[in-house]
Structure 1
Amino acid sequence: MILCWFYPGCNVLETQITEGTAGIVLVDSIYFRMLLRVTTVLLVWTTLVVSERVYVHPFYLLTYNQSSCDELNEVKEETLEEQTFTPVPIQAKTSPLDEITLKDQLVSFGQTLDSEDKTRSIEVGLLLNLVGFRMYKMLREMMTSANGALLLSPFGLFGTLSSFYLGSVDPTASNLQTFLGVSSQDKSCTSKLDGNKVLSALKAVQSLLLAQEKKGSSSLLLTTMVGLFTSPDLRLQQSFVQGLSPFANAIYSRSLNLATDPDLAAKKIDMFVGAVTGWTRKTRLTGISSDTTLLFTTYTHFQGAIKGISLLAEPQVFWINTTTSISVPMLSGTGIFQYGNDISNNFSIIQIPFNENAFILLIKPQDADLEKIEDFILSQDFSSWKKHLSSRKIHLTLPKLLQESTYDLQKLLTYTKLPKLLGEEAKLSKISSVNLKVGKVMNTVLFELKESQEEQEKQSPGVPLEVKLDSPFFFAVYEKLSKAYLFLSRVTNPLTGV
């Protein structure tokens, strides 16, 4: 495994990105050249986990160049304090999100990407995959859910960590850089990650995923919202909040009393998010510490429909295990998809397009342990999948999905034996000049797979292969050019979500 990680206006700062994407050509050669240049170096971390393996890679498009270094040195000599602001109270009137407009803006932004932007997206895609695969396994170990379901967004996780990197100074910045996958041994300026470039590359990944979507269409949506909830007296650095806009196409900074009644504060935050987004969520925020001064929340919403896949009139049987079944809404349709059958590892895989850039991989076990299949899949280079897939006419039946997953990144870091990375000792002066007490760092994922509103295309002659996902399975959503995996999930009960 190639692994290099861990890094883990004022009231105007309610930002919605204004820009999205043209046709993209898959550039496998760039990806392979990047991998071939990887040099493995074993580092012993004194501040991080001992004996972790860190691999050095020339992510030159994501680091500072010499001219940027000179500008940074000039800024350091200035004595003026950076402009700060106090977030408006949480009860301030707020306009609701328009997700279709936000999607259209990302599509338009994608049309401005040049070759360097696309190569940078490949670099950040490699990093977020490596961090995401590892954290999926960590989250799987940590979860105690009886049904064993799991949903993680490597994109959302990586973006949250990169956001904290943007707001940190050394030694926290160096530790976060290592966590994110880039060696911090070399202390020169040009070896340091440029947080703004990383977050801009994440914006490119989002726009590439949506590249082929029509204006005003809701068949494929990807919305990222960041909420910064602070104590009333906390002032945030304006440049930090503005710097988050490439990662999140909606940013809200709000203040409220977190100390007197934390449970009431949690209810107010849930009500605010619900009013702004309109999303129906099952999980509720709990356990805010009374000494918290900043709560950082990331919400990633995905909605996708596979062309030609419709909702069956009657619920179908889904086997939770060999003895227990339930009735669930099912989607079904016939199409030409990429298909492969791995006999030695006992699973089959179907690659299905949402559009020319966005795909979902469906992995169906065949009398095999799902966890072992996940470990095998998440240890493989993405490009190796292509060699085992071929076009096949398939009649596909799978559950209609409405999944939700929420976890506290602080707890996940603690489980990973890195409790101090974003803890009380973290140096986050680029977020606020006062000492922060970061309470929770919440990542919420809302994932919807639904029926298509488009008519099914006329099918070619021939008997299709019947594939029915009527028992626990694994899926992943990825973008073709960057090869970034945006979502990973194990589905064990379509009715309960995660």
Structure 2
Amino acid sequence: MAPASVSLRATVLCLLAWTGLATSDRVYIHPFHLLTYSESSFEELGGDHEEGPPDPTFTPVPIQAKTSAVDEEALRVQLALAVEKLEEVDRLRALEVGTLINLKGLHIYTVLSKTWRTAHVLSPVALFGTLASFYLGAMDPTASKLQTFLGVPVETQSYTSRLDGCKVLSALQTIQGFLVAQGGEQGDARLLLSTVVGLFTAPSLLLKQSFVQGLAPFAPVTLPRSLDLSTNTDLAAEKIKRFIQAVTGWQMSIPLAGFSPDSTLLFNTLVHFQGTMKGFSLLAEPQEFWVDNTTTVSVPMLSGTGTFQHWNDTSNSFSVTRVPFSENACLLLIQPQHTSDLEKVEAHALQVDFLTRKKNLAPRAMRLTMPQLVLEDSYDLQDLLTQAKLPTLLGSEAHLGKISDANLRVGKVLTSVLFELKADKGKQPPEAAQQSGGPEALEVTLNSPFLFVVYEQRAATVHILGRVTNPQPRDGTPGQNVRPQKAGVNL
């Protein structure tokens, strides 16, 4: 397919993905033939029936066993290398999955945002990847219900309408690789994207090797660990939290407490996104951020001068600024004209054909000032399924025979994200902070509630959606990202 055709395909898919999402939970009708089985391949795999030799199983090691620390730079390199020699079918497959991610992610963001009062961040890719992981381990009727929830209808007795979970997870690897791959003039502005899956099981549970190995394209670090989940659930949750923080170095709250003591599997997808703002420095002193019309907080601010694309939507009272991370990835900053208009702007900007507005983004010499961000959030997929009127989809009657032969009882299913924006320069001296970007530079300061989107254009995928109403960490202390200093972690 010619590059122009690929670009057109991406545009069409993206328009469909961004139109009318917040008001519809209908299945998106599209021939996702690149993601489904051929009839012959489905039969070769035995379909949804247990045929052929049994799948090898294993018992996860205890959670206190020594574990190597996560090497995030190695993960970035691994993702970048994975997209260097893609075939055209791989790129088109990534576009199809990107469409599904945008549909599901933006709809869920809209549902969740109705209850938000502070800063929140959502990773549609992590959310979709968690759903796809369970689809990989599911058998009918659970598999069909999960596929429909992912956005692709299942035709009765039609194998060619069935999603191939391996193809979906492989496309997720491509989508993540596109984000961190470097190139062009912004190639030195690196992004980190690290995905880790924790599978925490009761001591007697056996997991299937093919399922755990099948998660590798989506989550190159998968950590199956066993511990007592039945005696003291709060203690088990604390042990898991300490384990994750020790292995990753990410200081996250990870609200796993409160699961049922008869649970035999807890599933946690963790994502760390770190973006470097090229040409930005940290201002010497904290600045005021208006939480509302009467309240301010003092927060660290980043500032940089350059040529950015900018657009004012005067009819809807908000502005959009596009800051490039790399040749293909960017940060879109959406700022309401009035603090009280945040929810109205959010409802408008994230329902209409937002991405086509890039044609209206004119290059401007600008001095942009915004908060330094360290945000973290977690969402329980079980709660989201309840809101979608599917409370029993992953319940005790779920058919998850491709994860384990045992009668699984799935407890919490968390997707957790740690989002960081940092400057690529040191602290700015006080006198520099007073300088303007020149007589014609437009001054844009995000010192009141705003929205942001991390978008990658090769797969036309929204990676992060966020709302910032108070940039301070929730515990009121500066965010930290402490890396383990030892070669291994022993809890």
TM-score, normalised to structure 2, is 0.88
> Against the structure 1 CA distance between its residues 65 and 37, is the aligned structure 2 distance closer, same or farther, given a 3 Å change threshold?
farther
Q: Secondary structure at the match of 2:98?
A: helix
**Residue 183 (structure 1) aligned with residue 183 (structure 2):** no
Aligned partners of 1:37, 1:186: CA distance in 2, in Å? 26
Q: Map Cα deviations across residues 334-392 of structure 1 (whole Å, 9 max, x no partner).
A: 11111111111110001111111111100000126212222222223354122221111
The match for 1:276 is 247
**Residue 101 (structure 1) aligned with residue 78 (structure 2):** no
In structure 1, which of residues 296, 299, 309 is the aligned counterpart of residue 280 of structure 2? 309
User: What amino acid does structure 1 have at the position aligned with 2:257?
Assistant: T
Aligned partners of 2:374, 2:15: CA distance in 1, in Å? 40
> Against the structure 1 CA distance between its residues 420 and 350, is the aligned structure 2 distance closer, same or farther, given a 3 Å change threshold?
same
Q: Map Cα deviations across residues 4-29 of structure 1 (whole Å, 9 max, x no partner).
A: xxxxxxxxxxxxxxxxxxxx999421
The match for 1:445 is 417
Q: Map Cα deviations across residues 225-248 of structure 1 (whole Å, 9 max, x no partner).
A: 000000000001111111100111
Aligned partners of 1:186, 1:124: CA distance in 2, in Å? 22
Contact 2:455–2:463 (CA under 8 A) maintained in structure 1: yes
In structure 1, which of residues 381, 398, 418 is the aligned counterpart of residue 353 of structure 2? 381
Contact 1:138–1:416 (CA under 8 A) maintained in structure 2: no
Unaligned runs of 5+ residues in structure 2 are 18-23, 429-435, 476-491
Q: Map Cα deviations across residues 187-223 of structure 1 (whole Å, 9 max, x no partner).
A: 3111111111111101001100111079x98841000
User: What amino acid does structure 2 have at the position aligned with 1:163?
Assistant: S
**Residue 339 (structure 1) aligned with residue 344 (structure 2):** no
**Residue 207 (structure 1) aligned with residue 184 (structure 2):** no
Aligned partners of 2:372, 2:197: CA distance in 1, in Å? 27
**Residue 370 (structure 1) aligned with residue 342 (structure 2):** yes
User: What amino acid does structure 2 have at the position aligned with 1:133?
Assistant: L
Q: Secondary structure at the match of 1:97?
A: coil
Contact 2:282–2:426 (CA under 8 A) maintained in structure 1: no
> Against the structure 1 CA distance between its residues 120 and 139, is the aligned structure 2 distance closer, same or farther, given a 3 Å change threshold?
same
Aligned partners of 2:13, 2:235: CA distance in 1, in Å? 50
Q: Aligned Cα RMSD in Å?
A: 2.6
> Against the structure 1 CA distance between its residues 164 and 77, is the aligned structure 2 distance closer, same or farther, given a 3 Å change threshold?
closer
In structure 2, which of residues 119, 139, 145 is the aligned counterpart of residue 169 of structure 1? 139
In structure 1, which of residues 297, 308, 315 is the aligned counterpart of residue 268 of structure 2? 297
> Against the structure 1 CA distance between its residues 58 and 95, is the aligned structure 2 distance closer, same or farther, given a 3 Å change threshold?
same
> Against the structure 1 CA distance between its residues 204 and 454, is the aligned structure 2 distance closer, same or farther, given a 3 Å change threshold?
farther
Structure-to-structure mapping, 1:341-490, within 5 angstroms: 341-367=312-338, 369-453=341-425, 463-490=440-467
> Against the structure 1 CA distance between its residues 282 and 54, is the aligned structure 2 distance closer, same or farther, given a 3 Å change threshold?
closer
In structure 2, which of residues 98, 112, 129 is the aligned counterpart of residue 159 of structure 1? 129
> Against the structure 1 CA distance between its residues 120 and 462, is the aligned structure 2 distance closer, same or farther, given a 3 Å change threshold?
farther
Q: Percentage identity across aligned positions?
A: 54
Q: Map Cα deviations across residues 472-491 of structure 1 (whole Å, 9 max, x no partner).
A: 00001011111111110100
The match for 1:12 is none
Aligned partners of 2:463, 2:229: CA distance in 1, in Å? 32
The match for 2:97 is 124
Q: Secondary structure at the match of 1:337?
A: strand
> Against the structure 1 CA distance between its residues 233 and 162, is the aligned structure 2 distance closer, same or farther, given a 3 Å change threshold?
same
TM-fit CA distance, 1:148: 3.2
The match for 1:245 is 216
**Residue 30 (structure 1) aligned with residue 9 (structure 2):** yes
Aligned partners of 1:54, 1:359: CA distance in 2, in Å? 29
Aligned partners of 2:198, 2:270: CA distance in 1, in Å? 8
The match for 2:481 is none
**Residue 62 (structure 1) aligned with residue 35 (structure 2):** yes
User: Which one is further off, 284-293 or 90-99?
Assistant: 284-293
User: What amino acid does structure 2 have at the position aligned with 1:490?
Assistant: R
> Against the structure 1 CA distance between its residues 346 and 65, is the aligned structure 2 distance closer, same or farther, given a 3 Å change threshold?
same
Aligned partners of 2:81, 2:209: CA distance in 1, in Å? 26
TM-fit CA distance, 1:249: 1.9
User: What amino acid does structure 2 have at the position aligned with 1:288?
Assistant: F
Q: Secondary structure at the match of 1:335?
A: strand
Aligned partners of 1:470, 1:383: CA distance in 2, in Å? 24
> Against the structure 1 CA distance between its residues 52 and 396, is the aligned structure 2 distance closer, same or farther, given a 3 Å change threshold?
closer
Q: Would you say how many aligned residue pairs link Structure 1 and Structure 2?
A: 458
User: Which one is further off, 378-387 or 102-111?
Assistant: 378-387
Aligned partners of 2:286, 2:15: CA distance in 1, in Å? 49
In structure 1, which of residues 52, 75, 81 is the aligned counterpart of residue 54 of structure 2? 81
Aligned partners of 1:324, 1:34: CA distance in 2, in Å? 42
> Against the structure 1 CA distance between its residues 261 and 25, is the aligned structure 2 distance closer, same or farther, given a 3 Å change threshold?
farther
TM-fit CA distance, 1:395: 0.5
The match for 2:87 is 114
